[in-house]
Amino acid sequence: MKIIFMGTPAFALPGLNDIHRRGVEIAAVVTRPDRPAGRGKILTAPPVKERGLELGLDIWQPASLKDPDLLNRIKDIRPDLVVVSAYGKFIPDEVLSLARYRGINLHPSLLPRYRGAAPIQWALINGDARTGVTIIEVAEKMDAGAIYARKPVDIFPDDNAGTLFKRLAEEGGQLLADVVEQIAEGKADPRPQDESNVTFAPRLSKAEGRINWSDTATDINNRIRGFYPWPGAFTTLSTPKGVRSLKIIRARVVPGGEGRPGEVLEADGDVFVVATGDGTLRLLEVQLEGKRPLAAEDFLRGHRISSGEILGGIKGSNQ
């Protein structure tokens, strides 16, 4: 089995590593071009490129997947399969048609649930207890290809998008390598998705991170989990320097306490409790605009907050 591997971020690394470890011939790795990153806008290689170079693989970084030079190079290789994991752009038929078995793709949900750009985040936002990974045929319609394999993965109460991302990447990488082997052995049996069960997971925006304290404590906590590390769930806080954005990094639903939505019920020691539309939320870790993340105890030591203050009561800046 000779493959072309297509991927860009860290999510794709377990799949690349596992496929390479099993001895599959990776004729080339296709990844996105280097991009400016960080405050200094330093040109930075994507994680898949860095790992591919460590493995001694041939790295291609085309500006377009329809570039005639790229297509000619793929044609010369005559791959059996194109393997895709978070490449970041639509894979055109011009590429897929050059491979004997066309292409497969790793998607981090139990398809047909959560087609789209943010399946990990929406599983958390919606309070799901389980998600998973699916290997599908690369199709013209987004995330709609036939299913080769699926694997459920539990969501833990303290999971956020970052921790769940890592676990799904590992499970998905193993499953991706399994399906590559099944195709090579002629044992693959892809089945069409049930269109009646399709749901979608649209891309998130920073503005959606603004907390609505009239929501329930559980819903707010799920949004905090789903929005970390990006784009972040935030509210506003009145300070001596004016109204500033306050990111909520970790919180916990706690019993007792009543107040207006967003009202600070207690802010003393390590206890930072806020009322919601239904229930109360204890803030465990926060980040004031322009500052580093702090545990609630450390934050309250440096910022005097009075009981009765209303978070999010004044429209402030967005971090």
Structure tokens of 306?
């009075």
Decide if 209 contacts 118 (C-beta within 8 A). Answer: no
d(CA 221, CA 274): 12
Q: How far is CA 254 from CA 62, 218, 221, in A?
A: 51, 10, 11
Structure tokens of 158?
């303290």
Judging by beta carbons within 10 Å of its beta carbon (0-12, 13-18, 19+), is residue 29 exposed, middle or buried?
buried
d(CA 154, CA 162): 15
Judging by beta carbons within 10 Å of its beta carbon (0-12, 13-18, 19+), is residue 117 exposed, middle or buried?
middle
Domain range annotation of the chain? 2-197, 206-302
DSSP state of 82: E
Positive or negative: CA dihedral 261, 265, 268, 273: negative
Query: How many C-beta atoms surround the C-beta of residue 220 within 10 A?
Result: 26
- Same topology between domain 2-197 and domain 206-302: no
pLDDT by position in tens, the chain (length 319): 999 999 999 999 999 999 999 999 999 999 999 999 888 889 999 999 999 999 999 999 999 999 999 999 999 999 999 999 999 999 999 999 999 999 999 999 999 999 999 999 999 999 999 999 999 999 999 999 999 999 999 999 999 999 999 999 999 999 999 999 999 999 999 999 999 999 999 999 999 999 999 999 999 999 999 999 999 999 999 888 889 999 999 999 999 888 999 999 999 999 999 999 999 999 999 999 999 999 999 999 999 999 999 999 744 333 3
- Residue partners of 63: CB distance under 8 A and separation at least 6: 33
CATH superfamily of 206-302: Formyl transferase, C-terminal domain (3.10.25.10)
Looking at CATH, the fold of the domain delimited by 2-197 is given as Rossmann fold (3.40.50)
pLDDT of residue 93: 97
Q: How far is CA 107 from CA 88, 144, 148, 151, 198, in A?
A: 12, 11, 11, 11, 14
Matching residue, tokens 């605009």: 289
d(CA 141, CA 230): 27
